[in-house]
Amino acid sequence: MSKGIPNNWQLKSYGDYNGDGKADIVWQDKTSDDVVLWLMDGVNIGGGSYITKGLSNDWQFK
């Protein structure tokens, strides 16, 4: 894990979600079920936002 990421956040997925050829990261807060996408620029966070807040238990990452 990266320094500074609270224990309640869990890495859920990674891939090129914005088409720039660089891997991006999806995180989920295990407490609130909020889901966040980090748009990466190498090792730097280039941007990002919440995908959803309070993801329903009907949905799962696979």
2-51 pLDDT, tens digit each: 567 889 999 999 999 999 999 999 999 999 999 999 999 999 999 999 99
The two three-digit tokens of residue 40, written as one number: 């990466």
Contact by Cβ (8 Å): 39, 51: no
The two three-digit tokens of residue 15, written as one number: 């891939």
**Angstrom distance (rounded) from CA 21 to CA 56:** 30
Sign of CA dihedral 59, 49, 18, 45: negative
- Other C-beta atoms closer than 10 Å to the C-beta of 2 total 8
More confident residue, 8 or 61: 8
